[in-house]
Amino acid sequence: MLWQPLDLNATCPAHTHLTACSSVGFLYLQLLVQLFGDSVDRRIQESHGRETQDTRHEEYDFIVVGAGSAGCVVANRLSAYSNWKVLLLEAGPEQPDVTLVPALSTALLGSNIDWAYKTEPNGKSCLARPGQRCDWPRGKMMGGSSSINSLAYIRGNKLDYDVWAAMGNEGWSYRDVLPYFKKSEKNLNMESLNRKYHGVDGEQSVSRYPYVDAPSIMMTDAFNERGLPLTDYNGENQLGTMQSQAVAQDGERVSTNNAFIQPIRYRRKNLTVKVNSEVLKILIDEHKRAYGVVYKQHGRLYTAVASKEVIVSAGSLNSPKLLMLSGVGPKEHLHELNIDVISDLAVGENLHDHVTFNGIIIALPNETATAVDNHQLFREVKHYYEMDVKHGPLSSNGPVNSIGFYKTEPDLPAPDVQYQVDSVTWREYFREPVPYEGVTILPTSFYDGLLPRTMNLVPKSRGKLLLNATNPYGDPLLFANYFDDPTDLIPIVKGVRFLLTLENTKAFRSRGAYFVKKPLEACRHYEWGTVEYIVCLARAYTTTTYHPVGTCKMGPQWDRKAVVDPRLRVYGVAGLRVIDSSIMPVVPRGNTNAPSIMIGERGVDLVIEDWLKPYHD
């Protein structure tokens, strides 16, 4: 089996009463492994004969490092030119079938397809967590984080991209990037959407889930009742609420691997895909030109050569790590590690994320809750597996797509808060919040409580990423630096105060929903609902929204923090680009998967233009 789930023996605390840590949890994971532990790609390779992997003469036109949200797009578009040989290298395995089930998204965390990074403590955030470190999951398989995320398809606000352009990044305004969002998109719900903002002919399926439960509708109704209009977040106006669309089709996830690589992988002879192949170094010659990579596969080292470009699409955490290992980064840090400096750049800086927290709990009465007993849980999992066309509770992601965008001040140019809702067994969570979050393996569609998370869309705090001096090739040091700028708490406090008013809506009252007004353990000294209590929750139960960006910042040459230019070329090294979310100068107001796909489209178009332009002149 390709998928190895979270090790409950190592993760579950002693003497816990969490259901996930009981015999139910162990049996449930065993069932998932049996039903969904294999991979579509492995079965295709078995039926057609495994892909040949010639390692003797590895010469290509382009090498793409990382088969994630952007990398799969890049490899697809480059290999569309039959005279270009393209190598796509992925550090993780094939994408296992378990990733396709929307309601199992949280079961993927901590498994073998998660890099399972942790942040470094700063004394201002993650205070209730072990070592004051927050978990930062990242996808490690074909599809990358598009195979492990919560599936929501949200692009951000128009203003975000106009700000990028105003920072000196020509070609990245909203008018410039909208065609690239549309190019990838295959929207399956166009009857209610404006064609001006959406595409239907692309590879990336985008749709609403076939199943939406009552508590999810309750949240959308409550936000709407409190003044947030029903809206298409990706259209004319982001401010508002709606059940978000997902990167899914017919009740299954559609990762960028599913959308962009699987359909061409076994047809285009000029595309070579290698999994379990972690790139350790970019090869750069004496003329400061990238000409290849060294990668490790099954314990052996190999070299691949690129005659045109090496394109790094390893994501916001692994792209800067690889650049620094290759001599591209801050000279002081590289000198400390005895790495020869090829280009002194601010790699790893400008790290930021949409900070949020857990701890606000909405309880649901039995008639509103979707919780099931253990026997029904196992029946639902088997039933989903046996269906030809997927539907029912596991074909959606519970309340996660119940999303709202809110302005904490009416004169703001765009929303500064996003609400996204997690499902929870609320009594278990209340007793053991931190252990509970470490073992969220059960389906998101069965629950008796909600955890609405108030996200700061415009964080000012900036962190950084460094290589680990004890093992530079191991996990990097991630300084998230949440709440280093205390004003980042202001939108959160204001956003929570608006959130608490939902209890007075008809939507809540008619379904018997209510906020659990008892302080969590780490904040027991504060009165529930006060500003002091909200700040305590935010600092103690801080959590990521899985949106880290900015570590290979895009900017003009005069920007001292810029790592790549607006054409995504690494400053000081020819033949080397970065195309992924790490280039974002400022995180967009929303989820980052859709913008990463757009960056893949826009970035690879620049590559193609540069290499074909001489023939058009």
Of 362, 301, 296, 290, the C-alpha closest to 326 is 290
Q: In this structure, what are the phi and psi dihedrals at residue 388, rounded to the nearest 5 degrees?
A: -75, -45
Binding-site residue numbers for FAD are: 279
Rg (CA), the chain: 23
Torsion-angle region of 168 (φ positive above 0: left; ψ -120 to 50: alpha; else: beta)? left
Other CB atoms within a 10 A radius of the CB of residue 578 amount to 31
Contact by Cβ (8 Å): 396, 209: yes
Rounded-to-integer distance, Cα 250 and Cα 186, Å: 13
**Is-catalytic flag, 354?**
no
Binding-site residue numbers are: 279
Helix (H) or strand (E) segment spanning residue 165: helix 158-166
User: Where does 167-213 have alpha helices with state H?
Assistant: 174-184
Contact by Cβ (8 Å): 296, 277: yes
End-to-end CA distance of the chain: 52
**Identity of residue 477:** L
Contact by Cβ (8 Å): 321, 467: yes
Of 161, 146, 87, the C-alpha closest to 113 is 146
Coil, helix or strand for 129? Answer: coil
Coil, helix or strand for 136? Answer: strand
Rounded-to-integer distance, Cα 604 and Cα 123, Å: 41
Rounded-to-integer distance, Cα 240 and Cα 232, Å: 8
Rounded-to-integer distance, Cα 273 and Cα 267, Å: 12
Rounded-to-integer distance, Cα 446 and Cα 211, Å: 13
Other CB atoms within a 10 A radius of the CB of residue 268 amount to 17
Q: In this structure, what are the phi and psi dihedrals at residue 575, rounded to the nearest 5 degrees?
A: 70, 20
Q: In this structure, what are the phi and psi dihedrals at residue 369, rounded to the nearest 5 degrees?
A: -65, 155
Rounded-to-integer distance, Cα 151 and Cα 147, Å: 8
Q: In this structure, what are the phi and psi dihedrals at residue 429, rounded to the nearest 5 degrees?
A: -60, -45
- Residue that is written with structure tokens 């978990």 in the block: 135
Of the residues 198, 352, 354, 547, only one is catalytic, namely: 547
- Residue that is written with structure tokens 């649901």 in the block: 364
The two three-digit tokens of residue 51, written as one number: 């892909």
Q: In this structure, what are the phi and psi dihedrals at residue 296, rounded to the nearest 5 degrees?
A: -110, 130
Contact by Cβ (8 Å): 157, 590: yes
Q: Is the dihedral of CA 150, 153, 158, 164 positive or negative?
A: positive
How many angstroms separate the most distant Cα atoms in the chain?
72
Active site residues: 547
